[in-house]
Each structure stands twice: as structure tokens, then as C-alpha cells.
């Protein structure tokens, strides 16, 4: 009987962990605005960055990897949006996930990325957000609540401008 109880406890724990890992994506799907997790990650410049440090600013959180072809197509557009909107208080944070550091550094240099980037080498933050792949982009308001996302590559500059205008205006939902 004890092995059955232990097995049930392990299954309950695993199910709970899986549900927590999809918390952000599931909450967005229900029309909710979950809080940005208070996670700290290493930045490429050597310091540690907590996602909660950006409260008070609208934030774009873009998950990417150096091996991702759509990420390479999206990168120049994201850099252009950062350049265009940063004077309005926008912060862009790239999250290099499930990637090796040397190719990730080459990717940043090759694409002339100037916005902040952090490393998520084991994909734990990506799982917490419930990402389904890369690229995937989340939009958080200055209140620290996630307002929407692009579930994959977005190369339409108009779609970026519409989303960023909504985010900067404080809209409760970002397309």
C-alpha cells in the first residue's frame, strides 16, 4: 500500500509542477493578466537581472535562441522597435533560452542587438511562461502584469507598433 501512496504523491506533485509551468500562458488564454514572475537570470554583461526590476516601465520580453531561423528574421524588427519606442519608456529584454552562450553572443553581435539580454540556459523561465517554442514575445505593463503575447514569429512592423502603442497607453490587453 505504501508504494501506491508514494506513487500517487509523486504524480500529484508532477501534475502540480506542470500546471505551474503553464501558469502564464494559461492565464492569458483565460483573459487574465498574470504578474511577471520574480525570477533572476544572468545577463550577457555578467550581472544578474530580476524581471521585477522593470516594474514601472512597459516591458517586451522576447524568448529566442541562436539556432532559431525565425528569431533571426524577427531580431532586426525587434531592435528597430526598441530604438523607436525606448524614449517613451519601453524596456525590451531578450531571453536566450535553451542555447549555448558562444553562439548566442555571436547572434547578438551579428544582428546588432542593443537591448538587454539574459540567459535561460535550461529553459526554466520559458517553461514558467508556458512558451511553445521560439520566438515568443510577452508584453507586460508598467504595473508588472502580462497583457498579451505574440505566440510565434512576428515580422509585421505594423503589428508591433499596434501592440507597443497599446502597451504604452496602458491598455489592459495587448493584441
Mean pLDDT of 79-85: 97
The domains of the chain, with CATH numbers, are 2-168 (3.40.30.10)
Binned at pLDDT 50, 70 and 90, residue 19 comes out as very low
Query: What is the predicted pLDDT for the residue at 17?
Result: 40
CA–CA separation, 66 and 164 (whole Å): 25
Mean pLDDT of 147-157: 96
Which range has the worst mean pLDDT, 29-33, 64-68, 73-77?
29-33
Query: What is the predicted pLDDT for the residue at 45?
Result: 93
pTM, 2 dp: 0.86
Query: What is the predicted pLDDT for the residue at 100?
Result: 97
Amino acid at each position: 500500500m505504501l508504494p501506491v501512496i508514494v506513487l500517487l504523491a509523486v504524480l500529484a506533485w508532477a501534475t502540480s509542477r506542470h500546471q505551474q509551468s503553464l501558469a502564464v500562458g494559461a492565464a492569458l488564454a483565460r483573459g487574465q493578466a498574470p504578474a511577471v514572475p520574480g525570477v533572476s537570470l544572468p545577463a550577457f554583461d555578467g550581472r544578474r537581472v530580476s524581471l521585477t526590476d522593470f516594474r514601472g516601465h512597459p516591458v517586451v520580453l522576447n524568448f529566442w535562441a541562436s539556432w532559431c531561423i525565425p528569431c533571426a528574421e524577427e531580431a532586426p524588427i525587434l531592435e528597430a522597435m526598441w530604438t523607436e519606442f525606448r524614449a517613451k519608456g519601453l524596456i525590451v529584454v531578450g531571453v536566450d533560452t535553451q542555447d549555448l552562450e558562444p553562439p548566442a553572443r555571436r547572434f547578438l553581435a551579428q544582428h546588432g542587438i542593443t537591448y538587454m539580454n539574459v540567459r535561460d540556459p535550461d529553459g526554466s523561465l520559458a517553461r514558467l511562461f508556458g512558451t511553445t517554442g521560439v520566438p515568443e514575445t510577452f508584453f507586460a505593463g508598467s504595473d508588472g502584469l502580462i497583457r498579451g503575447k505574440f505566440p510565434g514569429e512576428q515580422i509585421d512592423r505594423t503589428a508591433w507598433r499596434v501592440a507597443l502603442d497599446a502597451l504604452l497607453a496602458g491598455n489592459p490587453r495587448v493584441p
